[in-house]
A and B are shown apart, each in its own frame.
Chain A
C-alpha cells in the first residue's frame, strides 16, 4: 500500500465527530471485490457492521477516538514507533479491489478497520480448530494412540475396551487414517450411529463438506471414491462380505459396540474370525464397552489378540436407590387387575418420576446447570411419562421435556442435543437407545426405571414375545454412567439394591432371542459346509439349529443333505425375512409382479399405522372408507394407493398422513424397499425389466421432468450445504405446536427425495401396482402370501360362532387359543370369519361326525405371532381352507377313498360327497407341481445361464397356471374341517402298504406321471407326490358306511364318457385314470411345448389321426403316424 505514504499530510479521522456507520452505503462498496461472482471481503456483512459499532464505541470509551495515521509498507517492518497495525499479519490485496480514491483518509481508515475485523475473525476461526484439537487430545483414548499403533504393528487383532465417553468410536478410525490406512470400515449396530458418527468424524477431520468420511446404511449412503473411513451397519457389511470379490475392499475392519451382542454382531465376529485366515493383510479391531471383555479376548486368543483397556472419564456419581414406596403392593394389584381386565397392559405409573424431578427442584437450584435423562422401557412408556412431566411443568416451567427413541424422525432426535436456556433443564425421556449408542452431554441426573423391553423368540410356537424385563446389572451401570460425563452427577434408581443384586450380570445375547433362519441360510450361502461348525462366540442351542435347518429344508431352501438350493441362494440374496423373500420368488413365475412387489414392500416395513390411528376416533373415522374386509394388509395398500394419488396430484401428503395417524416415513420406506426388491429381482433376472424403464417419457414430459429435477437437486444441495446443524437454544415447550408448525414450514426433504426418484410415469405405475381391488388380483396375492408364510395358519375355534368379539380364539399348529390383535379389522368384524347359516349344507346320511359341512370354511394366514400382554395373530388374511391346505401342505395323508385328508398331522378334512376329495386333491397336486416346476426351471435356467451366456429369460406368456390356480381356489366343494389332537394321531395311520392288487395294478402314478410311486415306510400307503401319501389313513365307521352306500352306485368316467364301473370304488377309478382317453388327451395338450401350441389352442379339433390301438386323437404328420403306429403295436 505504497500510496499511504501521502496519508500523513491528510486530516486524521476523529470518531467523536464522525462514524463509519453513517456512511454504510458508500463504504459497503469498498467491501466488494473485483470478481466475476459477487464476492465480498467479509463473510457476514451485518456481523461486520456490528463489529464496527463495538469497535468505535470501545475507542471512544478508551478516550482514543482519533485514529492514528496509517503506516507505509516500509514502516510496517520497523519495530519503532509503536502502532497497533503492526500486529496485523494481513493486508488488502489491491489486485482484487475496485478502483477507489486513494487519498481519502476516511476510506483508508475504513480499510484498516476491515483488516482489524478480518484479523479478529481469523483468530476466532483458528481458535475453533485449536479447541477441537484440544478436546480430542483430552479424550482418554488419546493417551493410547501410540499403544494402538504398536499393538497394531504386532498383532492383527486388537480389542479396544473402553467405557462410553473415552472417545474410541470417534478417534480410533481417525488414528488409523493417520497411520496410513486408507480403506477403513467401521460397523455400527444402528443406522443412526452411522450417520452421526460419520458427521462427527468428518468434522474433526475438518472435512464437513468433503467425503473422506462416509456412511452406508439401508436406503442411504454418502460415499464416494475419496471416502477413506466408512461407517456401515453390521447387516450391510455382512452382505458385502458375502460376496467374495469384496474381500479386498477394506484394509482394516473395526467392529464397534460388540458388547451389545447383536445377532449381526455375533455373526460378524465369526465371519471375521474366518476372514482373518483367508486374508492375511486384513487388520481387525474390536471395540467394546468394558463389559465381559474377557469373552472376546479368549475368542481371539489363537489369533494373538491384543487387549487395550482405556479407562473412561467419569466424574463421581452419587447413587440413590429410590424404589416407589408401594412398589410391591402396586405390582401385585396391577397383575391382579390385569387378569380381571383380560390382559389390558397396565400403564406405567409416572408419579415416581415426577417425584424425583420435584426432589431435584428442591435440592438443586436452577442456577446450577444439569439435565435429566430418564430411562424407561418403551415408546408407550415414554409418551406416558412425557405427558405427566409436561403437566408437572405447568407449575415448574423450568422443565423442557424431550422424548427420545429410535422411532422418532431424525430432526426430532437431534433436539436432545440442543441447549436448554439459562435457568432451565432438559428432561430427556428415552429408551435404552441413550444407554450406549447416543451420548447426550450435560446430563447430571439419571432416573432409571430399571426396565427394558425385549423381543424374545419362542421356538416352541415360532412366535415372538415382546416383554418387559428388569435390565441387567451391566446395563444398569451403563445407565448410571450417563450422569457423570460432564461433571459429578446423581443416579436415581427406582428399585432397591436387593433387586439390583438379583439382576442378570449381562443382557441375553440376541442370538438367543430371535429366529435363526436368515442367519443360517446366509451362512450356507456364504459357502459354510456345516453351519454347526460355525465358530459362534456363544453358540445357540443345537436343538434350535436343527429346528431351523429343518424349516429351511421345508421351505425348499436347503436340500436333504443341507446343500443350498437355487431357491435358497436366491433367498439369501434378498435382504428380507425368509417368508417375504420366498413370496417374491414364488411370484416371479407369474407374468405380473408389480403388485407383488408393492405388497412385499408393505409387509417388510413396520406398520404405518401409529397407536394414535386407533386411539383417536378422528383417525378411525378418516380411515373407515379405506378399510378392506380382506384384512389389514389390504387396508394399508388402499391407504398407500390413496397416498400415491395425492402425490400424483401434488397435494400435501404430510397433512393427510397426520390426519389418519399414519407414519408417513413408512410409506417412503415402502417405495424405497419396493424399488430395491425390483432391482434385486431384475439383477438376478428373476423379473423382467420394470415397465417404468421400458416406457420412455415423451419429449415434452422429459423437458418438464428435467426442469423439475434441476429444481429438486438445487433443494437437496441447499440442504446438504446448509450449515451442519448447530446445537440450538431450545424454546420453551409452551408453544410446542407452533414450533412443530415452524419445523414443518420448511421444505419436506423426504418429499423432495421422493420426487427426485419418481417421475410422473413411475408414480403412475406405482399407484397402479398398489390398486388391488379385482377379485383375481386379491386371490393371487393371497396365494403368494401363503406360499411365503406357510405353515403360519390358524383355524378358528369351533365354538367361535356362539362367542362375543373378545372371546374369539384361533389355533395354530403349535399353539392353541390365540387371539386376533384387537386393532385388526378381523377382530372387529369377526363375522367375516364365520360360517353363515346359509353356508351350512345338509350331510349325507352316512356322514355322522358333528362338524358342520360347508363349502365356505376359511383359514387365517398370519404374518407373525406376537405376544405382548397375550399372544396375538398379526396381519392376517383369510383363505378357503381346503384349497389352501392341499396346495401348500408339507404332508398330506389320505385314505383309500380320499374322503379324509390330514394336513401336516394337525388338520383333518372330510369330503363326504363321492369323488369330491379325489377331484380336489388331484387338481391340487397337479397345480402345486406345475408351480414348483416352473420356479425350479426358472431358477435353474438362471443358474446355468450365469455360467454360460446371458440372454434375457423368455417369459412364457401363454400361461394358464395362475388362471388355473384361481379356478381351483374358487371350486365349490363341501367338506368339514377340524383340528387333530395328539390322541387322534395314535390311530391315524394304517402303517401298512396298500392292498396287494392295487400295488400290482398301479404301474404308473395316477396323480403325477413322472413321480415314481413308493411305499411310505412309516405311515403306510403310497407316496404319490412330494407331499402326498395316498391310502395311509385308517378307515373310520363313516367312511366304511359311505363305501357301503356307494357300492350300490355305478360310476361313469366324466373325462372319457365311455368308461363305467359297476361300483363306486376310488382305487379302481385311479386305475382307470391311467388308461382314460379323455384325460390323456388333456394331459397331452398341456404338455405340448408352447412353440407348437399356437395352432394347437383349439385342442383335439385339430387332431388329424385317431389311433385305434391306443384310442388317442393325435395331430401328427404322415411319417409320425407311421412311427406311432409301429410303437403302439409293439406295446
Chain B
C-alpha cells in the first residue's frame, strides 16, 4: 500500500539515532515486540565487553570482607583527570555523580576503595578499621608491627586508630 513510505519517513523523526535514545520511554507494543525475540543478540554483549564503564575488577577487603567491583587498579585512572595515586590503588568511578558523556570525565569522578598492604600485600580497604596510610598503605596488623620505626606523630595517629578498631571488635 502507498502508506508504507510515508509511515517510515514520519517515524524517522521520532527515532533519531540520538545519543540519549534510551531516554525516550518506549511504548508497550515496541516492548512486546522486542520481548518476543529472546535477548540473545551478540551485538550488545560484544559492546559490553569493551565497555570501560562496567566495573570488572573484583575487590574484596581481607579484613572487613567489603566486596565491590571496581573499574581500575593502578596509579593513573583514565577517568580521574588531574590526579595520580602514589601507589597502585583500586579505584571506582564515582557512582554518586551522574556519569559524564562517554570518553569524557568530570571533577572528582573517582573513589579510591583500597590498596594492597605494602607489607603483606593483602587487599585492604580504606576504612580506618582496616588500613592506615603513612607513606604507603599498611593493613592494621602490619602497621602495628611497623609503627615503632615511625615518628611519634604518625605513631599516635595509628595507635588511636588501632584502639578504635579494637573497640569495634573488628581486629582480634
Contacts and interface: CB of A to CB of B under 8 A. Distances in A.
A93 interface: yes
Contact of B29 (A33, A96, A683): A683
Contact of B44 (A125, A126, A226, A243): A226
B167 interface: no
A713 B23 contact: yes
Contacts of A722: 98
B127 to A, nearest CB: 6
A79 B26 CA distance: 60
A384 to B, nearest CB: 37
A1088 to B, nearest CB: 26
B34 to A, nearest CB: 9
B166 interface: no
Contacts of B112: 89-90, 122, 126
Contacts of B107: 39-43
A1082 interface: no
Given A81-B151, A243-B36, A702-B13, A220 B135 contact: no
Interface string B1-45: 101001101110100101010111111110110011011000010
Contact of A79 (B81, B87, B154): B154
Contact of A121 (B26, B36, B104, B108): B108
Interface stretch (A160-168, A202-210, A375-383, A394-402): A202-210
A679 B28 contact: yes
Contact of B111 (A97, A129, A240): A129
Interface in A114-171: 118, 121-123, 125-126, 128-130, 133
A281 interface: no
Nearest to B155: A82
A616 interface: no
Interface in A778-792: none
B164 interface: no
Most buried by B among A89, A93, A96: A89
Given A76-B135, A79-B151, A679-B29, A246 B98 contact: no
Nearest to B126: A126
Nearest to A703: B13
A695 B150 CA distance: 80
Given A129-B68, A697-B13, A87 B24 contact: no
Contacts of A40: 107
Interface string A676-711: 100110010000010001111100001001100100
Contacts of B13: 697, 702, 705-706, 709, 759
Given A82-B151, A86-B154, A126-B113, A91 B83 contact: yes
Most buried by B among A78, A81, A126, A697: A126
B29 A82 contact: no
Contacts of A96: 81-82
A693 B150 contact: no
A694 B9 CA distance: 9
A224 B22 contact: yes
A1051 B126 CA distance: 106
Contact of B151 (A33, A80, A118, A720): A80
Most buried by B among A76, A713, A720: A713
B54 to A, nearest CB: 9
Interface in B36-64: 36, 38-39, 44, 48
B26 A221 contact: yes
A118 B22 contact: no
A1024 B5 CA distance: 49
Interface in A1024-1068: none
B97 interface: yes
Contacts of B150: 79-80, 82
Contacts of B133: 87-89
A932 interface: no
B66 A130 contact: yes
A952 interface: yes
Contacts of B39: 183, 225, 249
Given A89-B87, A121-B108, A679-B27, A694 B98 contact: no
A82 B82 contact: no
Given A43-B97, A130-B127, A209-B99, A696 B10 contact: yes
A240 B32 CA distance: 8
Given A86-B154, A209-B99, A92 B7 contact: no
Contact of A696 (B9, B16, B106): B9
A717 interface: yes
A743 to B, nearest CB: 22
Contacts of A695: 6, 10
A129 B114 CA distance: 12
A589 to B, nearest CB: 20
A208 B66 contact: no
A66 interface: no
Contact of B108 (A118, A249, A689): A118
B33 to A, nearest CB: 8
Contacts of A5: none
A249 B127 CA distance: 41
Given A42-B108, A96-B81, A130-B127, A89 B96 contact: no
A136 to B, nearest CB: 11
Interface in A87-113: 87-93, 96-97
A71 to B, nearest CB: 10
A82 B154 contact: yes
A298 interface: no
A756 interface: yes
B105 A756 contact: no
A584 to B, nearest CB: 15
B26 to A, nearest CB: 7
A80 B155 CA distance: 12
A183 B32 CA distance: 17
Contact of B18 (A89, A209, A676, A713): A713
Contacts of A206: 68, 92, 95
B120 to A, nearest CB: 18
Contacts of B111: 122, 125-126, 129
A615 interface: no
A937 interface: no
Contacts of B104: 36-37
A39 B81 contact: yes
Contacts of B35: 240, 243, 245-246, 249
Given A89-B112, A696-B6, A705-B13, A82 B81 contact: no
Nearest to A86: B135
A721 interface: yes
A211 interface: yes
Interface string B89-127: 100101111111000111110011101000000000111
Contacts of B26: 221
A39 B106 contact: yes
A1087 B99 CA distance: 68
A226 B48 contact: yes
A716 interface: yes
B68 A676 contact: no
Contact of A248 (B1, B38, B100): B38
Given A93-B82, A713-B18, A717-B23, A125 B96 contact: yes
The 5 closest A-B pairs by CB, nearest first: A82-B151, A206-B95, A721-B98, A679-B29, A43-B108
Interface of B: 1, 3, 6-7, 9-11, 13, 16, 18, 20, 22-29, 31-32, 35-36, 38-39, 44, 48, 66, 68, 76, 81-87, 89, 92, 94-100, 104-108, 111-113, 115, 125-127, 133-137, 149-154, 157
Given A82-B152, A91-B86, 14 more contacts: A39-B107, A80-B151, A92-B83, A96-B82, A122-B112, A130-B66, A133-B66, A209-B98, A694-B7, A695-B6, A706-B13, A706-B16, A709-B16, A713-B18
20 contacts: A39-B107, A76-B86, A77-B135, A82-B153, A87-B134, A90-B84, A90-B85, A91-B83, A92-B83, A92-B84, A209-B99, A226-B44, A245-B38, A679-B28, A694-B7, A696-B10, A706-B16, A713-B23, A720-B23, A722-B98
